[in-house]
Structure formats: structure tokens, C-alpha cells
Amino acid sequence: MMPTAKQRKQQQRFKQAVPKAKKLYKTGKYKTYGAAMKAALNGCSTPATMTGRKKVKRWQTGKSDKSRDEQREALKPGKRKSRSGVTYFERRKNRTDMPGKLTGTGTMNELYIRNLNERNRSMIEADTRLVQLKKLLQITPRGADRNKVKGYIKEQKKYISVLKKEIRMLKALLK
């Protein structure tokens, strides 16, 4: 069976790349002969690391706890240098922050302000629920149902007092 024109062209290109690959491999620019062969076939004489281009990683591995990430800031995924001077790449989600993602962005004051706003919203909702429960109590006839509504009102008042304490604490932290 005769090779097609495309196959003949590939064979010729491969034959021309073999001496170039051997030369590249002998110079030590490539760790393996396969990498040198690939570079020779692609017409590249130096690997990406030799030209000074950085390989950018756009992913993170592992899992991350959002509540803990909100409490601390972290660097972007990428190159790090350890205390002993060893350079490594950090991609673990619980150690890094991706730009534009939730994980750990912002300062502690921003976190306190966000929490304070959430508590204020919860307080408004709790107040409206309390008013609704009081109206329900007025129209509920005497008996077991009335006692249930009174229990709900008591729980709502406790929840409101807890929210007030949390709001006071957050305001104190922001001063």
C-alpha cells in the first residue's frame, strides 16, 4: 500500500526533525529526547521556561471552607518561596485566593460591615414576624392554638435580643 501525499509529507518532516532533535537533546535544553523531538517538529529551539515565559495556572485543587476563607486574606495561586528557600507552586484552595472568587477577599473591617448588614436585615425581618405573630394572637381564639402562638412570640423575642447583642458587638469592633 502506497502512502498518501499527506503521509509522505509527515514522514519527510519527521526525517528532517530527527537530527535537529538529537542536537537539541545533546545541548541539554530538554530533559528527554521526546521533548526535544516535539520541539524540533514544532520548529521551536528553546523550551518555554528558557525563553522566560511563565506558565500560568488557572485552577485550584482541593476543597475550601467559605466561612473560614472570609476571615483571612490569601495570595493568588502561583509561585511561593518557603522559609528554607525552596520555590514551589501553590494551588490548594484552602491556601490561595482566585481573583474574582469569594475565597477570603477583603479586610476584617469589610467582613464586620458585611456581618453587621446581614444582622440588621435579620433584625428587620424578625421585627415584622413579631408584629405578624401579635396580630395572629389577637384573632386566635382561646385554647391550645393561642398558647402555641404565645410560645412563638417568646422565641421571636429571644431571637431579637440575641441579634441586638450581636449588632452591639459588631459595632464595638468597628470603632
**Banded model confidence at residue 92, pLDDT cuts 50, 70, 90:** low
pLDDT tens digit sequence for 29-42 = 888 888 888 888 87
pLDDT at 116 over 90: no
pLDDT given for residue 95 in this prediction: 62
Q: What Å distances lie between residue 131 and 11, 37, 60, 85, 94, CA to CA?
A: 84, 78, 48, 63, 43
pLDDT tens digit sequence for 58-77 = 566 666 676 766 666 666 67
Residue carrying C-alpha cell 529526547: 33
What share of the chain in percent tops pLDDT 90?
16
Q: For the chain, give every domain's residue range.
A: 9-53, 56-106, 108-174
Prediction pTM value: 0.40
pLDDT tens digit sequence for 7-18 = 888 788 888 888
Contact 62, 93 (CB under 8 A): yes
Parallel, antiparallel or unpaired: strands 78-81 and 87-90: antiparallel
